Chains A and B, each alone.
Chain A
C-alpha cells in the first residue's frame, strides 16, 4: 500500500521531466469509425501517462497501406499500421520491415494471451506454427440481410430467412411474383461468392492449405462446385432472381431502396443498413448447397489487423505492447463491437456483450458470430493467404462481371481466374522468395 502510494506520487513528477513516448497509429477508418478509433486512443492516453498514441487517418485500406509502405521506403514508418486482410501475405513477406506481434509481445508485453482471441479470427493471422503476426482489430464476416416487410408481403415467413440456395431461389420467385424487381444481390462478390463460399462449403480456394503453407500455392477456384454455383448465379441474372449491383458495397442501394429484398454483405454493414433502410430487416447465415457434404462449415473473416514496423526504439515498442494489451481488454473490445458492428474478437468481449444483454436488445447482431464459430475451422475455412491478392481480386471482379454481362460462361471465367491468378501468384513468389 505504502509502495503504490509513493509510486502514485512519483508519476506526476516523472512525466513532467520525461515527455510521454509517442506512438504513431495509421489507420483507414473514416467517418464515424474514425471517431471510434480516436476514442480508443484517447481512452488509452488517459489511462496512463507514459505513452501517447496518435491515430492518423490515411485514406481507405489500400491508400493507408500504400502510405505505410511509402513511409517505410523513405525511412519514416509509423509504429502501427492497419492493413486489410488481403494485404496479409504482402506484409508477411516483408521480412525485416515487420516486427511480428508474437515477437513484440514476447519481449515487451506482459501476460499477453493470444488464445484470448477467437480461433476463427486468430487463425487468419497466425503462422501454421501458431505464431501471431499481427494483432486482430476489426473483423467482420458476410451474412444475409433480408427485408422482413417484403417477406411478409410475399407470403414468406419473416422470421425464417432461407438457409439454402434452392430456398433463396424459391423465395426470390415468390418475391418477384409479389412485385419486387429482383430477388437478391451481393456486395464484395469475390469475398462473399467465392472466398466465403468455399470456406462455408469446406472446399479449398487454393493448394497448400489456401496458401498458408507456402508461396507455391495455386488456385482451385474452378472446381465443379464453384462452376455450378457461379453458373447458377449467371442463370439467375436472366430473370433477375439475382441482380449484380457493382463492386465493393455498391449494391447496397438495391437493398435499402427495397428493390432487392435479400442482400449478402459484411456484418459490419449492419449500422449503415439500419440507418438507410426504411423497413424492418433481419439477418441470416449465408445460404449453402444442401447436397454438399460438410456444408455449412464456418465463414471466414474480412477486415483488418494492426501491423508493427521494425526500426523503432525499445521504449516505443514498450508503449506499442502496452497499447495492444489495452486494446485486447474485454471492455475496449466489447465497446468497439457494439458501437461499430465489427465482430467481438476475443472470447471475453463476446461473453461481456452477451452479459450486457446487447444481442437481445439488438436482434440480428449475433448471427455473424454464430456463423463464424459454427464449427472449428478446417484447413479450408481458416482463411486464405495469397500474395498480390489485391490484384487477384480485381481479376476476379473482372471475370465475374464478364459472366454477369453474358460475355463469358461460368466455366470460362473461373478457368481464366485460376490461370490469371496463378500468374500473379508466381510473380509474387519471385519477389518474396
Chain B
C-alpha cells in the first residue's frame, strides 16, 4: 500500500516549494533562457550593435569540421576522465576499506586533492610533465619516449586527462568508501565461509551492491568532465596543440570570454546543454534499470 501525505491547505505545498523553484528560476532557467536568446544574435563585444541572425550561429558551427572534431575530442576526454577517475577511486577505496591501522590518515590524505583549485591542479601536472623541468617528463625521456606535449596531441590529451581525473578521484573515493562501509559485513563473511576468495566476493557481492553509488558517480563525473574542466585545459594546453584538447566547454569559454564572440559562444553552450541533458536522460532511462537498490 502506498503511503500518501495530504496537505490540508491548498497553498502550503506551493509555499514550501517556492524558495527552491525561485532559486532554480533565477540561477538556472533564466541564464539558460538568456543563452538561448543570445545564440540567435550576432553582437559586438560592447553590446552596441546587435543583429538578429536566426540560426546562423548554429549553422556556422555545424559547417565547421573542427567543431565536429571537438565533439569527438570531448567524447574521448570525458570517457577517459570518468573511467580513470572511477577505477582508481574504487581501487583506492577498496584498499582503504581493508586497512586496519592508521585508516583515518590514509583517508584524509586521499581526500586532499579535492580541495585543489582546477587551475592549480593543471599547473601542478603541467610542471610535472614539462619536457624541460618536469620530473615525470625526465622519467619518460629516460625510457626512450619522445616527450613533447607542445607538439604531440596524444601526449597533451593524456596530460589533461590525468590532471582532470586526479582532481575527481577524491570525490569518488569518498562516495565509494561510504558505499563500501554500508555493505553488511554478514554478507561478505557468509561468502567467505562458503569459500569465496577476495576477487570473487568483490565481483559477486560488493560491486553489485555498489551500483547505486557507481551510477550516481558516473553521472556526476560525466557532467564534471563536460563542464568543470576548462580551468585545467586552460592552464595546461589552451586547447592545443593544433586543437587536440579543444573540448566543447573549453571552446565555449574561449570564444565567449577570450574571443568576446557572445552569439557564437552562446550557440555552443546551447548545444552543450542539449548534449548533457540527453546524456543524463539516457543514463536515467536505460542504465538505471540495471542498478540494484
In the complex, which residues 242-274 of chain A have their Cβ closer than 8 Å to any Cβ of chain B? 243-247, 250-251, 253-254, 257, 259
Question: Is A2 in contact with chain B by the CB < 8 A criterion?
Answer: no
CB-CB < 8 A to B46: which residues of A? Answer: 69, 72-73, 94, 97
Q: Confirm or deny: B258 has a beta carbon within 8 angstroms of a beta carbon on chain A.
A: yes
Residue of A nearest to B263 (CB): A431
Is B133 a contact partner of A399 (Cβ separation < 8 A)? no
A401 touches B242 (CB 8 A): yes
Q: Which of B49, B152, B257 contacts A431 (CB 8 A)?
A: B49
Question: Of A237, A254, A430, which is within 8 A of B132 by CB?
Answer: A254
Closest to A90 in B: B45
Task: Report yes or no: B243 in contact with A398, Cβ–Cβ below 8 A.
Answer: yes
- Chain A residues positioned under 8 Å from B42 (CB to CB): 427, 430-431
| A93 sits at the interface (CB 8 A) | yes
**B242 — which chain A residues lie within 8 A by C-beta?**
398-399, 401-402, 405, 407
With both chains docked as a complex, state the minimum distance between the C-beta of A92 and any C-beta of chain B, in angstroms.
11
A273 CB to closest chain B CB (Å) equals 14
A401 contacts B151, CB within 8 Å? yes
Which residue from chain B places its CB closest to the CB of A63 in the assembled complex?
A: B257
Assuming the contacts A93-B44, A94-B46, asked whether A398 and B240 have C-beta atoms less than 8 A apart, the reply is: yes
With both chains docked as a complex, state the minimum distance between the C-beta of B176 and any C-beta of chain A, in angstroms.
Answer: 37
CB-CB nearest in chain B for A73: B47
Whether the pair B241, A405 counts as a contact (CB closer than 8 A) is yes
In the complex, which residues 186-230 of chain B have their Cβ closer than 8 Å to any Cβ of chain A? none
8 Å CB contacts to B: which residues of A88-113? 90, 93-97
Contact between chains at B258 and A388 (CB < 8 Å): no
With A94-B46, A253-B130 already in contact, the answer to whether A66 and B258 are too (CB < 8 A) is yes
* Inter-subunit contact A244/B150 (CB<8 Å): yes
**Are B240 and A96 in touch, CB under 8 angstroms?**
no
CB pair B261 A427 closer than 8 Å: yes
Q: Which residue of the partner chain, among A93, A397, A432, contacts B240 with CB atoms under 8 Å?
A: A397
CB of A407 to closest CB in B, whole Å: 6
Any chain B CB within 8 A of the CB of A342?
no
Q: Given the complex, which residues of B lie within 8 Å of A66, measured CB to CB?
A: 257-258, 260
Cβ of B127 to closest chain A Cβ, rounded Å: 10
Chain B, 69-86, CB within 8 A of any chain A CB: none
Query: Is there an interface contact between A244 and B240, defined as CB atoms closer than 8 Å?
Result: no
- Selected from B131, B132, B153, B259, the residue in CB contact (under 8 A) with A391 is B259
Query: Assuming the A-B contacts A69-B46, A94-B45, A405-B151, are A257 and B133 also in contact, with contact meaning beta carbons closer than 8 angstroms in the complex?
Result: yes
Proximity string of chain A (50-93) to chain B, C-beta cutoff 8 Å, 1 when within and 0 when not: 00000000000010011001001100000000000000001001
A246 to B132 alpha-carbon distance, docked (Å): 12
Docked CA distance A257–B45 (Å): 41
Closest CB in chain A relative to B240 CB, distance in Å = 5
Majority secondary structure of chain B interface residues (helix, strand, loop or mixed) = loop
Classify the secondary structure of A's interface with B. helix
A244 B44 Cβ-Cβ under 8 A: no
Q: A145 within 8 Å of B by Cβ?
A: no
Question: In residues 17-47 of chain B, which contact A (Cβ within 8 Å)?
Answer: 42-47
Q: How far is the CA of A428 from the CA of B44 in the complex (A)?
A: 8
B88 at the interface (CB under 8 A from A): no
Known A257-B132, A257-B133; judge A390-B48 contact (CB<8 A): no
What residues of chain A lie closer than 8 Å to B238, measured between beta carbons?
247, 397
Residues of B within 8 A of A253 (CB): 130, 132-133
**Interchain CA distance A182-B260 in the complex, whole Å:** 38
Residues of A within 8 A of B45 (CB): 69, 90, 94
A401: chain B residues at CB < 8 Å are 150-151, 240-242
B150 touches A394 (CB 8 A): no
Residues of B near A151 (CB, < 8 A) are none
Q: Which residues from A are CB-within-8-Å of B151? A: 237, 244, 401, 404-405
Contact B48 A97 (CB under 8 A): yes
Chain B positions 39 through 63: 1 when the CB is less than 8 Å from some CB of chain A, otherwise 0: 0001111111101000000000000
CA gap between A41 and B102 in the complex, in Å = 55
- What is the CA–CA distance of A419 and B287 in the complex, to the nearest angstrom? 45
A247 partner residues in chain B, CB cutoff 8 A: 150, 238, 240
Q: How far apart sit A379 and B258, CA to CA, in the bound complex (Å)?
A: 29
Decide: A259 and B132 in contact? CB cutoff 8 A.
yes
Considering the complex, which residues of chain B in the window 121-171 have a beta carbon less than 8 Å from any beta carbon of chain A?
130-133, 148, 150-153
CA distance A390 to B243 in the complex (A): 16
B97 CB–A CB distance under 8 Å: no
Set of chain A residues within 8 Å of B150, measured between Cβ atoms = 244-247, 250-251, 401
Chain A residue with minimal CB distance to B41? Answer: A431
B254 within 8 Å of A (CB atoms): yes
Q: How far is the CB of B19 from chain A (nearest CB, A)?
A: 27
- List which A102-154 residues lie within 8 A (CB) of chain B: none
How many Å from the CB of B140 to the closest CB on chain A?
Answer: 15
Interface centre among B43, B151, B254, B257 (most CB of A within 10 A): B151
Asked if A69 and B254 sit within 8 Å, CB to CB, the answer is no
Given A246-B150, A247-B238, A401-B151, are A95 and B48 neighbors across the interface (CB < 8 Å)? yes
The smallest beta-carbon distance between B259 and chain A, in angstroms, is: 4
Note all chain A residues with C-beta closer than 8 A to B43: 431
Residues of B within 8 A of A245 (CB): 131-132, 150
Cβ of B245 to closest chain A Cβ, rounded Å: 11
Q: In whole Å, how far is B21's beta carbon from the nearest beta carbon of chain A?
A: 27
Give every chain B residue within 8 A of A97 (Cβ-Cβ). 46, 48
- Distance in angstroms between the alpha carbons of A259 and B141 in the assembled complex: 14
Which of A65, A394, A405, A430 has a CB less than 8 Å from the CB of B152?
Answer: A405
Sample of 22 A–B contacts (CB below 8 Å): A62-B258, A90-B45, A95-B48, A96-B48, A97-B46, A237-B151, A245-B131, A245-B132, A247-B150, A247-B240, A251-B150, A253-B133, A257-B132, A388-B259, A390-B258, A394-B254, A398-B240, A398-B242, A401-B150, A402-B242, A405-B153, A430-B42
Q: 5 tightest CB-CB pairs across the interface, nearest first? A: A401-B241, A246-B150, A402-B242, A401-B242, A431-B44
Known: A253-B130, A431-B44. 4 other contacts (CB 8 A): A62-B258, A65-B260, A390-B260, A431-B51
